[in-house]
Chain A
Amino acid sequence: MTTTANRPVLLTNARLLDPVTGREQRGGVLVSEGVIRDFGSHLVAGSVTEAEEQDCSGALLVPGLVDLRAFIGEPGEEYRETLRSASHAAAAGGVTTVIAQPNTSPVIDDPAVVDFVLRRARDTSLVHIRVAAALTKGCRGQEMSEIGLLQAAGAVAVTDGDRPVTNAQVMRRALTYARVFDMPVIHHVEDPNLVGEGVMNEGEFATRLGLPGIPRAAETIMLERDMRLVQLTGGRYHAAMVSCRESLDVVRRAKQAGLPITAGVSINHLTLNEMDIGGYRTFLKLSPPLRGEEDRLAMVEAVAEGLIDVIVSDHNPQDVETKRLTFAECAPGAIGLETMLSAGLRLVEAGHISLPRLLEAMSEAPAKLVGLETGRMAKGAPADLIALDPDYPWVVEAAALKSRCKNTPFDEARLSGKVMMTMVAGRIVHSYR
């Protein structure tokens, strides 16, 4: 479904914004054969005679988002999410490329499974689906997967998804070996022993709720270990999500030392904190857990200054069977593909992050990290574009979201900013209204 439209399309009457340069101009974009051919103020209605015209009604026209971290249930857990349903959620949220995580059933640790997912996505998905394959066989953290063959089959990164690699020797070898293929190793930084029985951030609030806590050190210790291993191996490394202030010091030191590392944060950790758990709201049980407000603010600042490179949705569909339980027993995770951008705009509205930086952390930065051409407003770049009305007010209704699961932490939240049109490879796959 992501085939290229034959006739050129001219998107007009838009505010073009390049997230990388921050440059904004009125004008249009000319698209053909899935590629941005031209853009600028000279492209107005009627300027390209053979093109089919699309009026953007003055909306912002920006590169589509690239989500480095989304869990999709296909294959094996289609009741949670299929590639198709995830792609509908993504298209509605302005995400034009989704990096599927390997924690499926079977695990994406075999070139044939990568191939299956990519073929299946080609047949059913509205947006680009790319695969982050397993770093270790079965994501069990014991034996390295076939990193080279997985890459040859189309995987763009290796990770064990939501599972940390506890064994430092395994991590060391994987980082060393992945260098041959320049494959980024993405890691969920959490020490499972320190997490223990913990289900939320350790501290006063967990104590009041009578819930076992997860110390911030569970993340920081793992991150520090990884930095040492990167120093030892020189492997390309990305911390999937950091959540606490202390981790930022680790990232900063590593970057200052010139290590080839990057870091991400989830939209949830930028916009919510542990207090939002309130009376045991299971949709706010996440991994890593939501932290304190001071941590959230530190994360926002780190994104603004570029210390944190990318923002992910950490989209993780869980149905009533896994969420309608007590807080300690329910599965962690929240959906996020459809609300990521709107939630992020809260930070822009609050003046904490500039709009170009927010967009860059959700498009160009993650694309570059996994070697994709998308996420840029440039001639010859893939025509993955979204039209955004940054002020459009709407109220999140869980039932109306396109994901198969409705575990959104933003249910009934008032958000500003809506994706009016999503274009993938030159084809409009979503329009609002």
Chain B
Amino acid sequence: MTAPSLFVFPHRHLLGIEGLSRPDIEGLLDLAEEAVEVSRQVEKKKSSLRGRTQINLFFENSTRTQASFELAGKRLGADVMNMSVANSSVKKGETLIDTAMTLNAMRPDIIIVRHHAAGAVHLLARKVDCSVVNAGDGAHEHPTQALLDALTIRRNKGRIEGLTVAICGDIAHSRVARSNIICLQQLGARVRLCAPPTLMPAGVEHYGVEVFTDMKRALEGADIVMMLRLQRERMNGSYVPSVQEYFHFYGLDREKLAYAKPDALVMHPGPMNRGVEIASDVADGAQSLIREQVEMGVAIRMAVLEALARRLPNG
């Protein structure tokens, strides 16, 4: 095992990839490599967050992300409390600041927040004294997803610089896409976006990405194909006519994947809609990194928690 990294993360919160420098991102990825090793041992415990309290505050249901943050915290020795307020009868927005103040009074060290509204995590971060991690806010950002994707790519391709990454699907409503665009570009990748025009956000070309509506062209020569989840409420006529039509033109199947490089790798942030944005044989095929992404998710969250904990008072 290599010597533990002495990386110092220069921010109190992790609210988004925007604003992070390349060394910030690479430092987190390096730290996560250590976490991967820890997670693969029988003894998975570290003590860097011992005595610390971590609250997972989820205004939106997410079994996977919440479990990932919970495991990450526990492996670092933190006391982890899960608060799921997604089903609270109180109007969601009204409780946000009150909830933040209440939790803050319990003196947590780190709060992990997911919220259905863009900017909600920023709002909350301004009201508390502890560190805040954005676990997804509306269609804005989902920084740990982008970091775990970068880690997965780097481990499999040995680099990110110079790779061509095609992000396909519901870009308009995707925080994963936004965080990934910024993260991958920061690390030197070429980013392509592909979506039906109804699911492509306005002005996205200003990110310096290539924009496609024809998936085969978007995948031509790509090193990485990153699929996005299509939410059920967008499937039936509002943004795309039907699941069938969407899958036909924008679902990743063997035929479309054949346009990418032969060694192209397939990713998906999960949970997948098999037969909607991705065919089962591709999702489970040899080129798929989807399960590895989940493992890297825990590692990257350990890295983020550790990096933020190093900056905590008496840390």
Contacts and interface: CB of A to CB of B under 8 A. Distances in A.
A204 B138 contact: no
Contacts of B203: 202-207
A207 B181 CA distance: 12
Interface residues of B, number: 25
Given A280-B118, A280-B122, A326-B115, A211 B139 contact: yes
Nearest to A325: B93
B94 A210 contact: no
Which of B117, B120, B137: most chain A Cβ within 10 A?
B117
A321 B98 CA distance: 11
A279 B97 contact: no
B118 A211 contact: yes
Contacts of B117: 326-329
Contacts of A327: 117-119
A203 to B, nearest CB: 4
A215 to B, nearest CB: 8
A205 B117 CA distance: 16
B96 interface: yes
A336 interface: no
24 contacts: A203-B203, A204-B204, A205-B203, A206-B201, A206-B202, A206-B203, A207-B203, A207-B204, A209-B119, A210-B119, A210-B138, A210-B141, A211-B118, A211-B138, A213-B202, A280-B118, A280-B123, A321-B94, A324-B97, A325-B93, A326-B119, A327-B118, A329-B93, A329-B117
B204 A328 contact: no
Given A204-B202, A206-B203, A326-B118, 9 more contacts: A203-B202, A203-B203, A204-B206, A209-B119, A212-B139, A279-B119, A280-B118, A280-B119, A326-B96
Interface residues of A, number: 23
Interface in A315-356: 321, 324-330
A284 B272 CA distance: 37
The binding surface of chain A is classed by DSSP as loop
B118 A325 contact: no
A210 B202 contact: no
B175 interface: yes
B301 interface: no
B140 interface: yes
The list of the 10 closest CB pairs from A to B, nearest first, reads A210-B140, A204-B203, A280-B119, A326-B117, A210-B118, A210-B139, A329-B93, A325-B93, A207-B201, A204-B206
Contacts of A203: 202-203
Given A203-B203, A210-B139, A328 B96 contact: no
Given A209-B140, A210-B175, A328 B118 contact: yes
A208 B118 CA distance: 10
B178 interface: yes
B96 A325 contact: yes
A276 B204 CA distance: 20
A244 to B, nearest CB: 14
Contact of B138 (A325, A328, A330): A328
Contacts of A324: 97
Nearest to B141: A210
A211 B141 CA distance: 11
A282 to B, nearest CB: 9
Interface string B165-200: 000000000010010000000000000000000000
Which of A210, A279, A330: most chain B Cβ within 10 A?
A210
Contacts of B94: 321, 325
A279 B141 CA distance: 13
A210 B178 contact: yes
A326 B201 contact: no
